[in-house]
Amino acid sequence: MEILKVENLRKEYGEGNSKVIALDGVNLEIERGEFVAIVGPSGSGKSTLLHIIGGVDSPDDGKVYIDGNDISKYSSKELAYFRRRKVGLIYQFYNLIPNLTVRHNIELPLKLDKGKTNQDEFSDIVKKLGIESKLNSFPSELSGGQQQRVAIARSLIYSPSLVLADEPTGNLDRENSREIIEILKYFNRTLKQTIIVITHDESIALEAERVITIVDGKIVGDENNE
Ligand SMILES: Nc1ncnc2c1ncn2[C@@H]1O[C@H](COP(=O)(O)OP(=O)(O)OP(=O)(O)O)[C@@H](O)[C@H]1O
Ligand SMILES: [Mg+2]
């Protein structure tokens, strides 16, 4: 079964003259283990789509099924649980908690569930991301690339089956961007995680197996890269 199925998703913002149709009937299926890029002009609805898939925003109409479950049926408690465990969200501006150390930022999703850190998994992730020496630092003491690695570690701590990244390299230079994408590809290969990345960077889109193009809230292209 596909890991993600989106049916006729619609989302509007505002009213009257200021009404914006952010999503205008989006249908989409993504199989487990795919690495998908979403591209399209600014304001075309990419972030809106990702936020709805990740359960941080809700649609006006339509359905999102993750692993066959309709996430609109979740209670707020189930949704919070879903957001922490099933999906990993990565943003352009990292969204780290400034007064927590790197270690505590990464462990935050576990702590919110009163869970214990699996030290082996934790070590594997931070080693792969190259941030072992920064665990006791605070986010402000890190470079942008390092902060993004911490945000990725946090999103991976529950080994989510679906990783959603909204312009994860939007703030990084070319070298760091390439490394972040290599890391995402590594986890895609080794952990069979499904990864959806919004990007404006054509070279990143070319790294994906599949590229979906959104214009004016509609999918206008869906192609497999060679
Ligand atoms: N909270 C909101 N309130 C009002 N309008 C919104 C809100 N969020 C998004 N929009 C509008 O919905 C449309 C789609 O926005 P969205 O953020 O999904 O675009 P995007 O494709 O991610 O653009 P970008 O590439 O610039 O990030 C835009 O016209 C935007 O102005
Ligand atoms: Mg956006």
User: What is the C-alpha to C-alpha distance for residues 79 and 99, in angstroms, rounded to an integer?
Assistant: 26
Residue of the CA atom closest to atom 20 of ligand 1: 43
Q: What's the residue count for the chain? A: 226
pTM exceeding 0.85 = yes
Question: In this predicted structure, what is the pLDDT of residue 94?
Answer: 84
User: What is the C-alpha to C-alpha distance for residues 110 and 88, in angstroms, rounded to an integer?
Assistant: 13
**Assigned token pair, 196:** 């959806």
Minimum-distance ligand 1 atom for the alpha carbon of 50: 18
pLDDT, one tens digit for every residue, the chain (226 residues):
899 999 999 999 999 999 999 999 999 999 999 999 999 999 999 999 999 999 989 999 999 999 999 998 888 888 888 888 889 899 888 889 999 999 999 999 888 878 888 888 899 999 999 999 999 999 999 999 999 999 999 998 888 889 999 999 988 888 989 989 999 999 899 888 999 999 998 889 999 999 999 999 999 999 998 7
Burial class (CB in 10 A: 0-12, 13-18, 19+), 100: middle
Minimum-distance ligand 1 atom for the alpha carbon of 23: 14
Using CA atoms, how far residue 121 sits from 41, 118, 147, 191, in Å, is 38, 5, 19, 12
Minimum-distance ligand 1 atom for the alpha carbon of 51: 18
Indicate the helix (H) or strand (E) that contains 69.
strand 69-70
Question: In this predicted structure, what is the pLDDT of residue 53?
Answer: 95
Provide the residue type at 98 as one letter. Answer: P
Question: In this predicted structure, what is the pLDDT of residue 63?
Answer: 96
Question: In this predicted structure, what is the pLDDT of residue 85?
Answer: 83
Question: In this predicted structure, what is the pLDDT of residue 126?
Answer: 94
Residue of the CA atom closest to atom 24 of ligand 1: 42
- Calculate how far, in angstroms, residue 25's C-alpha sits from the geometric centre of ligand 1: 16
The DSSP annotation for 109-148 comes to HHHHTTPPP-HHHHHHHHHHHT-GGGTTS-GGGS-HHHHH
Alpha helices (runs of H) in 86-223, residue ranges in sequence order: 102-112, 119-129, 144-156, 174-191, 202-205
